[in-house]
Amino acid sequence: MPVFLYTAMDSKGKEHKGKLDAANEAEVTSMLKSKDLFPTDIKSAKSGKAAPKSAEGKDKPKAKKQGQGLNISLGPVIIKTKDLTVVTRQLAILLSAGLPLIRSLRTLERQSKNPAVKKTLNETAQSVEGGATFSEALAQHPRSFDKLYLNMVRAGEAAGAMEIILDRLAMFMEKAARIAGKVKSAMIYPAVILSIAGLMTTGLMVFIVPKFKTIFEELLEGDPLPDFTLFVMTISDIIANQILLVLGGLFAAYVGFKLILKTQIGRLSFDWIKYNMPLVGPIVSKSTISRFSRTLGTLMSSGVPVLNALNIVKETSGNEVVSIAVGKVHDAVKEGENMAGPLGATKVFPEMVISMIEVGEETGKLPEMLEKIADTYEEEVDNAVSALTSLIEPLMIIGLAVIVGGIVIALFMPLIKIVEKLGG
């Protein structure tokens, strides 16, 4: 039976090391939990790597020495969302096992192989050791921890239930990542097809069409080409002979688009188009509603006041149309109104969402109702993505056939004229 080396902690934060005979890591974890130990590291003895040493051992000065050689920083350290989700989940587990916050942070720092995570956890632990609250320590890294994260941590500090809040936060981040991943994966296939179609069209325009142009000029002896053929050959000339101008124009358009998106009216226009365009619009609207409901429900169930929660949702919605709508709802709620009425007046959210929120307010179970809305719309996003994926394939095939077929027709039209001339 395989032998595993483990490092684990008990409920008092004391570290234990040893080895166990087990079939796999899951069995080791189960055996340790039966002894009221929380595993922090499990490795196969065959790898020849010993389990991490205690923070009180000889590793501590060595780590300090290594840190001195990495003192140069090229900019603010940013933890990626995927890594932050993992850290949040691990921190929630450690705290729920009874470990103190600082010890939990140091444990995760010691285990992490990601330099950004390691540095951020080290600085956060140092701030907490210096007397700062956890939320104050996290606020020193605004590029890694957004307002949603900070406000939920503050709510956890106020309620004395940090492990519960972090668990909810990790669950929220995992579901948000899952729905974003599904939308992105659905876009991969059309992106690949469009890229292949673009390369094929460019190849035809650069290498094939110019050769036919030379043939036509010799055989037609001054007779004019059909208009459609002239149009295709003009595009071919531009692509083949003025490629730098074409690339420069595309780059200028991209830069102009980015500059427009930096203005509020530009973001609003683009988000409105995404929200209402065919095929993609339903996915965008459903995923936005799911994000709104999940964020607001998570914040309210964590103890964040409704006005603060609406402000956070407004700033983290990711869609200017929804952001403006939530801002109007915030102002109405501030004046003493319920949420459902002003939300319906924005004309952004479907009637079903408005009705469910109204029921949630009447029954005093708004956070639970928002979670149900989020679950419902996540399923609808899955269905919409599947429908879009099944629809895109035939549309792409038709589009590619039209482009290639158009080029072929443009080249055959003069050939018919040449054959008629030779026959005459």
Assess whether 136 and 228 both reside in one domain. no
In a domain, 159, yes or no: no
Residue 72 covered by a domain: no
Q: Are 52 and 41 in contact (CB under 8 A)?
A: yes
Q: What is the pLDDT of residue 67?
A: 38
The answer to whether position 66 is within a domain reads no
Confidence at residue 3, expressed as pLDDT on a 0 to 100 scale: 84
Is residue 363 one of the residues assigned to a domain? yes
Q: What is the CATH number of the domain that holds 219?
A: 1.20.81.30
Answer whether residue 231 is part of any domain: yes
Q: Are residue 141 and residue 193 in the same domain, yes or no?
A: no
Final residue of a structural domain among 145, 180, 197: 145
pLDDT of residue 212: 84
CA distance 292 to 273: 19
Model pLDDT, residue 253? 93
Residue-by-residue pLDDT tens, the chain, 424 positions: 778 888 776 655 566 788 888 877 767 777 877 777 766 667 777 644 443 333 333 333 333 333 333 333 445 678 888 889 899 989 989 988 888 889 999 999 998 888 989 999 999 999 988 888 898 889 888 888 887 788 778 878 876 778 888 888 888 888 878 877 877 777 787 788 888 888 888 888 888 888 888 888 777 777 788 888 888 888 888 888 887 888 888 899 999 999 998 888 888 898 888 888 887 788 888 888 888 888 888 888 878 888 888 888 887 777 888 889 889 999 998 888 888 888 888 888 888 889 999 999 889 888 899 989 988 888 888 888 878 777 877 888 888 888 888 888 888 888 887 777 777 5
Specify which residues 44 forms β-bridges with. 4
| Same domain? 139 vs 250 | no
250 and 326, same domain (yes or no): yes
Same domain, 46 and 86: no
200 and 291 belong to one structural domain:
yes
The pLDDT of residue 11:
55
One domain, residues 85 and 21: no
Model confidence, pTM? 0.62
Same domain, 85 and 216: no
Assigned domain for 152 exists = no
d(C-alpha 379, C-alpha 207), whole Å:
48
* pLDDT reported for residue 69: 36
167-174 — which CB contacts under 8 Å span 24+ positions? 167/89, 167/92, 167/96, 168/298, 168/301, 168/302, 169/88, 169/92, 169/298, 170/85, 170/88, 170/89, 170/92, 172/294, 172/295, 172/298, 173/81, 173/84, 173/85, 173/88, 174/85, 174/89
Q: Going by C-beta distance under 8 Å and a sequence separation of 6 or more, which residues neighbour residue 201?
A: 403, 404, 407
- Domain containing 173 equals 168-424
Identify whether residues 216 and 279 lie together within a single domain.
Answer: yes
Within a domain: 70: no
Q: Are residues 293 and 399 in the same domain?
A: yes
> Residue 247 and residue 163: Cα distance in Å, rounded?
52
**Residue 252 has what pLDDT?**
94
Q: Are residues 408 and 303 in the same domain?
A: yes
Sign, CA torsion 119/123/126/128 = negative
Cα-Cα end-to-end distance for the chain = 90
Q: Is residue 380 one of the residues assigned to a domain?
A: yes
C-beta atoms surrounding 103 within 10 Å: 17
Q: Are residues 173 and 310 in the same domain?
A: yes
- What's the structural domain count of the chain? 3
Per-residue three-class SS string for the chain: CCEEEEEEECCCCCEEEEEEECCCHHHHHHHHHHCCCEEEEEEEHHHCCCCCCCCCCCHHHHHHHHHHCCCCCCCCCCCCHHHHHHHHHHHHHHHHCCCCHHHHHHHHHHHCCCHHHHHHHHHHHHHHHCCCCHHHHHCCCCCCCCHHHHHHHHHHHHHCCHHHHHHHHHHHHHHHHHHHHHHHHHHHHHHHHHHHHHHHHHHHHHHHHHHHHHHHHHHHCCCCCCHHHHHHHHHHHHHHHCHHHHHHHHHHHHHHHHHHHCCHHHHHHHHHHHHHCCCHHHHHHHHHHHHHHHHHHHHHHCCCCHHHHHHHHHHHCCCHHHHHHHHHHHHHHHCCCCCHHHHHHCCCCCHHHHHHHHHHHHHCCHHHHHHHHHHHHHHHHHHHHHHHHHHHHHHHHHHHHHHHHHHHHHHHHHHHHHHHHHHC
